[in-house]
Amino acid sequence: MTALYQVKPTDLWFRKKMLADEATMSYNRAWGGTIAFPESDWADWYDYWIARPEGKRFYRYLTDEGRFVGEVAYHYDAELSGFVADVIVYAPERGKGYGRAGLDLLCAAAKENGITELYDDIASDNPAVGLFLRNGFAEAFRADGKIVLKKTL
C-alpha cells in the first residue's frame, strides 16, 4: 500500500540518492539533469521544507510497505500565484503505479490543507504530462518549453 511518510533528517539520504540518479532525474534534463544535494545542505533544506513550511510548502516521501519509492511535494509559486506540485518516483520503482498513487495522495493532502488548485510546470517533452492529464489536470498554458497544468481540488 502506497502511503505518505513525514521525512526525518536522517532519511534525507534517499533524496540525495534520487537526485543523483540519472534515470530518475531524466525528466529534469531540460533544466540540468541530476542535482547535487550534499549533506552540508540537509539541515537548512529540512528546516525550510519540513520544520518550517509556513503554509507555503509540503514535502513527503512515498512509501510502499515502509520502503521509500519516491517523493511528493508542493510549494507556493509567486509567478503562478498558486501551488506547484512535484512527484518524483525513483527510477527502479517506476511502472508500478506509484506516480498515480503519489499524485492522488498529494492532491488529497493539499485539499486537506486548504489548497483549492494545484499546478505543475513540466518540460513539454516529459512523459509525465500524461500522468497529470489522466489524473484530472488540464493544460493551462505553454511557455518557454514547458506545459503548465492545473487541477481544481
- Alpha carbon distances (Å) from 102 to 68, 124, 149: 12, 21, 17
- Could you tell me how many residues make up the chain? 153
DSSP per residue, 9-20: GGGHHHHHHHHH
Nearest Cα neighbor of 98 from 107, 108, 109, 88 is 88
pLDDT grade for 122, boundaries at 50, 70 and 90? confident
What pLDDT sits at residue 28?
A: 67
- Alpha carbon distances (Å) from 6 to 20, 50, 60, 106, 132: 21, 8, 5, 13, 23
Please identify which residue in the block is written with the cell numbers 510548502. Answer: 57
Which residue intervals of the chain are DSSP H helices? 12-20, 42-46, 98-112, 128-134
Global model pTM greater than 0.75: yes
2-115 has which CATH code? 3.40.630.30
> Has residue 127 got a pLDDT over 90?
no
Cα gap 28→116, rounded to integer Å:
27
Residues 6 or more apart in contact with residue 114 via CB below 8 angstroms: none
pLDDT grade for 61, boundaries at 50, 70 and 90? very high
Of 32 and 73, the structure prediction assigns the larger pLDDT to 73
Averaged over 9-32, what is the pLDDT?
A: 87
